[in-house]
Structure 1
Amino acid sequence: MHVTTISINSRLIQGLFFAALLLFSPALLLAQGSAGSMRANISGTITVDRTLDPTGDYSGIGIAIINFDPAAGGLDTLFYALTDRSGAFSGTARFSERDEYVISVTRNERLISTSTIVLANGDHTTISAEIPGFTESFRARSRENNAVHDYRRVERNFNRVVDFISSGLAEVTQDTIPVLLQTWSDLFWSVKDLHPGALAAETATLRSIEILQGWDDELVLSRARQGISELNLFKSDRAIIASDALIRLQGMEPALAFVDSVMTLQMREEDRILLEMRKIEILAQFNENEPALEMLRDFRERFSDDTTLVQWADFYLYDIQNLAPGMELPSFELLLQDERRVTNADFHGRYLLLEIANLASQRYQGEHALMRFLHDEMRQQVQFLTLPTNESPITIQAFYEERQTAWPVAKARQVHEADLMRRLNIIVQPTRILVAPDGTIVRKYSGTEISIIENDLRQLLN
């Protein structure tokens, strides 16, 4: 059961980075930028625990809402206020779009803590918090931020269930997983009904279909289409998930046609680029290498000034030319945890699911229970092999002994000594490669849900 955390855009991450700089220069907060045409009233109270400050004077606490905006020259202060003696403050935030922003609190020219807050035009937000323990006590109340609160509560409880299952403390069978996921998918979807139109509601509907991928493709497709037609955000994310479902239900052509239809809608340029990238991926997945290469080269030329997009194009170009379905898996020789030395030829005769993973990754730890289910069910027909990218032999041995892993695992640094990170073009972890009994590649999965791999295996084996 894969856990994805709440979506955080790159500007928010950069804003958190700049908030950390305030540890060294809180005075940066004093200059409020032009920001934008939207307005939101902000008020609230921040107090200090009386055991730390018995004076009851809570004045001088600084509250800032900041945004990283390259067009505005970097850090832009959208709101700044100081508390009075009672800890109360108020003011107006000025910003250009509804979004999640960083809020920071300072006292005596020292950064106390940071959190996040959603700003929307005309949305009056009331804030309460106490120092110390700002992060735990912080609460922003408004139409938008109440939706965030409910979304995070569902997400937090879902993650607890996943962690409980992953730890092995709960007995969960393969048959009960779809029921469990359906329940949580419905809970995420319900946030939309509780908070219609809120930013967090749009995030929750995306989360609802993410966790159902490969388990209930008909419902995934229905909810993705509804989200694309009714909601403004995450059009490309919903379309990409829906295209995967369509591939499993109907094949390549309906999936490509669906992506094309979504691209006719009004959307952000970033979404349109992601959907163009998705079309290339679909063509490559079905070994339509000539049209995929033609689109890829055109894409690379048009976006030659964008380093990130060029890197993606080069990554995919390497995969199409060296790791496409039907090509031989690059040869390797590895030393396993049980001291056996194996080569890729030792796995011929049955399907092989090869995975390259960072064991410290929360995502991989959450997925490992599902890998165990998959192995238990398919081990007569499918071999499993894990290549950890971790450097520590103790970490690797402890991880797999604790989880009683029943399939071969390579020793530390074997993936690097065999140069497989480069030869298998590994950028995302975990990456899994499904290999046919004759040693040729069936499909490479970069960060893909286990349920999708399971679906592919069922189609191959039935």
Structure 2
Amino acid sequence: MTYRGAWLRGSLGALLVLGLTAGALVACGAAESAPPPVRSYLEGQITVRAEVDSIPDYRGFEVLVASSTSPSADLDTLGYAVTDSTGFFRMDITAPHRGIYAVVIARRGQILKVDEMVVADGDSAQMRLVLPAGQRPIAVRSRENAAWLAFRNTQAQHNQELMKIVQEGNFQEAELRRSIQQTATILWNLQEQYPNTLGGAMAAAQSIITLDDWNDSLLVARMRQIQPDNPRLVDVVRIGRGAVARLAGQDSAIAFVRAYQRQVTEPADWAALQSEIVIAYMDSLQNDRALAAVRELKSTTTDSVWTAWARQAEYELQHLMPGMPAPGFTATTYDGEAVSLEDLRGRLVLLEFYRPELPAFQQELPIRNTLYEVAAPGTFDIVSISLQPDTLLNEAFFEGRAFPGIHIIGPGGPSYDVAERYAVTALPTRILIDPEGRILSKYVGNAIMAVRDDVMTRLGLFEDQAGIDGP
């Protein structure tokens, strides 16, 4: 089975996944060497509906543009103003770089509205807000914010259409393909309608991401037109690498990533693309080249997150690749019996790490349990290691629940030494081990269908898969 390196991405969490909420693009764009700040201007008026307050005195509303809306984050004030009696205000905004920032409206110490706006160099914006605003967004008008609004509206409309297709229960691939192609075209055209804007650049990137697994040729053609300063360059190159691999093979895909890597100027972007090269080599089982790429990353980056990622990848490449001996262990089961991996030689073993309270794991139980039940006696075992150290929680999970297999409660939770030997960084994680004790594959997250297919193939169960199909 081809080894999938996607599990490495899971260990990076927010570093590799770009959100579209206030502050997310701010973090994404940060450079290790500070670029010149961007300066923009915002003016506007805040009033109150007459039926709420009949006295037309709108002074004292505070307008704050800030780097974050999280109460746990250090608030970096980029612009601040207070309204006069007519509700009018004006402010200059200075931000570290172009991005999406929080807008907070308050009065007398009470926060009344929180939204977001684009701050870009030289952009002048106007705001109009009538309180109470309910769920209506703050109207911020400027060229940059018009592009961002068009991007958000296109995405929202697409999501609504997808939801309608799902809710109607009459799924047709042709209908879904039409919707995806249409949205991808609208998004791509936004960059022409709003050239050199953040919203236009984000729309172009999302157009490519939307095409993933639907139209590889068009995806790659559009990738060629993406500029190196696109705020989602790493994401689209990652998507593009998969498309190129499907069209022309992994070596061409690696060359594709390297071509973009030579164009980036931010060390964090270079490191992210280097990690994609590592994963590409791992996907094609070119372990020596993957190790060389990891060591290049370690020797080049000074970022502690990427250094930690590289250490983990190096360990995985040296100890946890398909065909390597699975790390041995001896443990005490929930029932007080001693068990070791050596004891299970001669049978296919699924080693799984989980926490019982995780909804994803609970949802996968029916398929997991059926695999155990349909296997011939002595041919297959599941060793389940709970990384929830609370004994009462584990006992509550076991009580009255069908959960066949060998059960171990890992003392210390995530720091349990067996979990560390198997480099578990996300749950659930499963490792399939052959009867000779060699690793076959590793699965992270919601991957029970891949587990099902590989176990059934190994056990020759595809002739009778009743009850093992997914939802």
Distance change >3 Å, CA 298–CA 37, structure 1 → 2: closer
Distance 1:252 1:128, change over 3 A: same
What code does the residue aligned with 2:209 have? E
Determine the structure 2 residue equivalent to 1:256.
Answer: 254
Structure 2 counterpart of 1:425? 423
Aligned pairs for 1:224-263 within 5 A: 224-231=220-227, 232-233=229-230, 234-263=232-261
Paired residue for 2:43?
A: 43
Whether the aligned pair in 1 keeps the contact of 2:180 and 2:211 (CA below 8 Å) is no
The letter for the 2-side match of 1:146 is A
Measured in 2, the distance between the counterparts of 1:161 and 1:384 equals 41
Percent identical across equivalent pairs?
A: 22
Q: Find the counterpart in structure 2 of residue 207 from structure 1.
A: 206
Alignment-mate amino acid for residue 311 of structure 1: A
CA drift at 1:117: 0.8
Matches within 5 A, 1:32-181: 38-50=38-50, 52-67=52-67, 76-95=76-95, 97-133=97-133, 136-159=136-159, 171=169, 176=172, 180=176
Give the alignment partner of residue 324 of structure 2, picking from 320, 324, 327.
Answer: 327
CA drift at 1:100: 1.2
Deviation string 1:175-213 (CA, Å, 9 cap, x unpaired) is: x45852662354144123135333223323333433544
Aligned residue for 2:180? 184
**CA shift at 1:127, angstroms?**
1.9
1:194 aligns with 2:190: yes
More helix, by proportion: 1
**Contact 1:186–1:208 (CA under 8 A) maintained in structure 2:** no
Quote the Cα distance in structure 2 between the aligned partners of 1:394 and 1:177: 46
| Cα distance in 2, alignment partners of residues 150 and 406 from structure 1 | 50
Question: Contact conserved, 2:25 with 2:100, CA < 8 A, in 1?
Answer: no
Residue deviations 1:207-260 (CA, integer Å, cap 9, x gap): 3433544x33xx245324523534331222222222223333433311222122
CA contact (8 A) 2:354 2:429 kept: yes
Tell me the SS of whatever aligns to 2:129.
strand
Quote how far apart the aligned CAs of 1:82 are.
Answer: 1.9
1:289 to 280, 287, 290: 287
Distance 1:203 1:44 in 2: 26
* Change beyond 3 A, Cα 1:203–1:412: farther
Contact 1:235 1:267 in 2 (8 A): no
Structure 2 CA distance for partners of 1:264 and 1:297, relative to 1, 3 Å: closer
Q: TM-score, normalised by structure 2?
A: 0.66
Aligned residues: 421
Separation (CA, whole Å) in 2 of partners of 1:143 and 1:455 = 51
How far apart are 1:57 and its partner, in Å? Answer: 1.7
Distance 1:406 1:241, change over 3 A: farther
Are the counterparts in 1 of residues 223 and 240 from structure 2 also a CA contact under 8 Å? no
Q: 1:308 aligns with which of 302, 305, 309?
A: 305
More divergent stretch after superposition (156-165 vs 310-319): 156-165
Provide the rounded CA distance (Å) in 1 between the counterparts of 2:389 and 2:130. 42
| Pairwise CA distance, 1:103 | 1.7
* Alpha-carbon contact 2:429-2:442 (below 8 Å) kept: yes
What SS does structure 2 have at the residue aligned with 1:229? coil
1:377-396 residue pairs with structure 2 within 5 A?
none
Q: 1:87 to 1:437 in 2, by over 3 A?
A: farther
Measure how far apart 1:456 and its partner are: 10
More deviation, 343-352/202-211: 343-352
Question: Deviations for 1:45-93, whole angstroms, at most 9, x for unmatched residues?
Answer: 223355654423221111122248xxxxx86543222222232323443
C-alpha spacing 1:417/1:257, structure 2 compared with 1 (3 Å) = closer
Distance in 2 (alpha carbons) for counterparts of 1:254 and 1:132:
56
d(CA) in 1 for partners of 2:114 and 2:294?
41
CA gap 1:83/1:7 in 2 versus in 1, 3 angstroms: same
2:278 alignment partner in structure 1: 280
Contact kept? 1:224, 1:238, Cα under 8 Å: no
Q: State the SS of the aligned residue for 1:324.
A: coil
Question: Kindly tell me: are residues 5 and 279 of structure 1, through their superposed partners in 2, closer, same or farther at Cα, counting changes over 3 Å?
Answer: closer
Paired letter, 2:87: G
1:140 to partner: Cα distance = 2.0
- Contact 2:64/2:105, CA 8 A, preserved across alignment: yes
In angstroms, what is the RMSD of aligned CA positions?
5.4
Task: Work out the CA distance in 2 between the residues paired with 1:145 and 1:41.
Answer: 13
Question: Which of 1 and 2 has greater Rg?
Answer: 2
Q: 1:115 to 1:266 in 2, by over 3 A?
A: same
Kept after mapping to 2: 8 A contact 1:387/1:410: yes
Shift of 1:125: 2.1
Question: In 2, distance between residues paired with 1:182 and 1:375?
Answer: 38
Equivalent pair of 1:67/1:76 in contact (CA under 8 Å): yes
Change (3 A) 1:229 1:194: closer
Q: Which consecutive unaligned segments of at least 5 residues does structure 1 have?
A: 16-34, 69-73, 337-341, 400-404
Task: Encode CA deviations 1:345-375: one digit per residue, 9 max, x unaligned.
Answer: 98987897968589768xx69xx79x99999
TM-score between both structures, scaled by the size of structure 1? 0.67
